[in-house]
């Protein structure tokens, strides 16, 4: 009878074992910073370059939209990155990213309030991203799993 009131032990989640957390650590440790697309010149695989770029797209767009991503990563070589990510994203997600990039390059907004204009391309791109974030994250998590699994497997 007293067993009914006994708390069952919950299985602890060990985050160090989660590929996503290992991937996030890898992205932070990689630390390409403002010179990121000099990553093109590094020994990292194409998949690692794509993953690192998409990780920061996801992080920055969720924090402040595409305007924030491209403003904070203005020194990155986005044209090179776009040629790589095109291979990994479905057309609609890639074209949305490209829409935001091309609009940002025009520098046709003068205030942050304009980005809130529902007809503004960055606003449209942000909302498309948010509406399709689950798909974006599934792709990124799949790439992250491949990278972490390849680093865990003895070469």
- Read off the pLDDT of residues 16-66 as tens digits, 9 standing for 90 and up: 458 888 888 877 777 655 555 554 446 678 888 888 899 989 999 999 999
| Residues sharing a CB contact under 8 Å with residue 23, sequence separation 6 or more, in sequence order | 51, 55, 144, 145, 147, 148
Residue 23 lies in a domain: yes
Taking each helix axis from N to C terminus, what angle separates 19-30 and 133-152, rounded to the nearest 10 degrees? 80
- Domain span at residue 97 reads 16-152
Domain count across the chain: 1
Flag whether 32 is in a domain: yes
Rounded CA-CA distance 149/131 in Å is 29
pLDDT tens, position by position, 82-138? 999 999 999 999 999 999 999 888 865 544 445 556 567 888 999 999 999 999 999
Q: Is residue 94 part of a domain?
A: yes
Sign of CA dihedral 111, 115, 116, 119: positive
pLDDT of residue 49: 86
Asked if residue 4 is part of any domain, the answer here is no
Residue 68 in this model has a pLDDT that exceeds 60: yes
- Residue 90's pLDDT is 97
Burial of residue 64 (CB within 10 Å: 0-12, 13-18, 19+) is middle
């Amino acid at each position: 009878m007293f067993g009914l009131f006994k708390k069952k032990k919950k299985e602890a989640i060990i985050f160090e074992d989660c590929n996503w957390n290992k991937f996030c650590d890898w992205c932070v440790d990689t630390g390409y910073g403002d010179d990121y697309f000099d990553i093109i010149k590094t020994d990292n695989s194409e998949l690692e370059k794509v993953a690192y770029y998409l990780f920061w797209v996801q992080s920055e767009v969720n924090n402040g939209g595409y305007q924030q991503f491209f403003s904070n990563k203005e020194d990155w070589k986005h044209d090179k990155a776009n040629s790589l990510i095109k291979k990994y994203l479905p057309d609609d997600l890639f074209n949305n990213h490209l829409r935001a990039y091309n609009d940002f390059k025009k520098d046709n907004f003068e205030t942050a309030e304009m980005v809130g204009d529902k007809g503004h391309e960055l606003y449209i791109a942000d909302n498309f991203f948010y509406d399709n974030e689950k798909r974006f994250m599934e792709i990124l998590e799949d790439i992250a799993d491949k990278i972490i699994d390849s680093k865990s497997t003895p070469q």
